[in-house]
């Protein structure tokens, strides 16, 4: 019983770590281009996008964990690592596509359209690389994958909420749109980076 409780605590501990202290966007800069495209796009639901991202990262974590262990003894593992993890993502993406086609739910069409955007994302590959280079256990990898997806949703919500305010006439015309959005994301990233205990050395 104690081992199960420890595993659950580890899972949720790493999920919370990935949401806040190691947020994929704000502290690692993963998936920023997709974030900017997602904000203000009425065709793509941020909630469903984040759900597909979470599912993909949780399903990729065990595949990448065992694949990483398989290539660990090889001398050229550093070169193979990205290719192997991309193959893991492709396998999971095909599996999700097959499931969505078989289920035929009311949202299947929308999720099939969102799936390539969510699965083929630098956030997914970057999270897997972080998990393996940090030598996370399987439970830690699963928690970190889930937390990274939820952290991405948090970032989308924060930027979406701010996008309405960033249309203010007080902002110079040269900075409106994408420039002010990137400045806003940068300021948030600095705030979160400082919140986690890092300091800027001048």
pLDDT digits (tens, 9 = 90+) for 32-59: 878 877 776 777 787 888 889 989 999 9
- Number of residues in the chain: 202
User: pLDDT > 70: what percent of the chain?
Assistant: 96
Half-sphere exposure of 164 (CA within 13 A, CB side): 4
List the one residue out of 31, 28, 37, 22 whose CA is nearest residue 121: 31
Angle between helices 122-133 and 46-71 (to 10 degrees): 40
- Average pLDDT in the 4-22 region? 90
Q: Indicate if the pLDDT at residue 7 is higher than 50.
A: yes
Residue 201 tokens, joined: 């050395």
């Amino acid at each position: 019983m104690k081992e199960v409780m420890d595993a659950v605590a580890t899972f949720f501990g790493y999920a919370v770590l990935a949401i806040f202290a190691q947020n994929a966007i704000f502290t690692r800069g993963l998936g920023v281009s997709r974030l900017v495209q997602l904000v203000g796009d009425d065709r793509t639901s941020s909630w469903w996008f984040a759900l597909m991202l979470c599912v993909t990262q949780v399903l990729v974590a065990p595949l990448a964990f065992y694949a990483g262990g398989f290539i660990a003894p090889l001398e050229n593992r550093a070169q193979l690592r990205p290719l192997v993890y991309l193959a893991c993502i492709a396998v999971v993406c095909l599996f999700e596509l097959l499931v969505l086609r078989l289920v035929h739910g009311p949202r299947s069409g929308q999720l099939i359209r969102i799936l390539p955007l969510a699965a083929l994302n630098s956030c997914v590959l970057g999270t897997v690389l972080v998990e393996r280079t940090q030598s996370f256990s399987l439970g830690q990898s699963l928690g970190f994958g889930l937390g990274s997806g939820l952290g991405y949703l948090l970032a989308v919500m924060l930027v979406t909420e701010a996008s309405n305010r960033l249309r203010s006439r007080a902002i110079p015309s040269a900075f409106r749109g994408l420039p002010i959005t990137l400045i806003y994301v940068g300021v948030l990233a600095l705030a979160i980076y400082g919140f986690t205990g890092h300091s800027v050395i001048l």
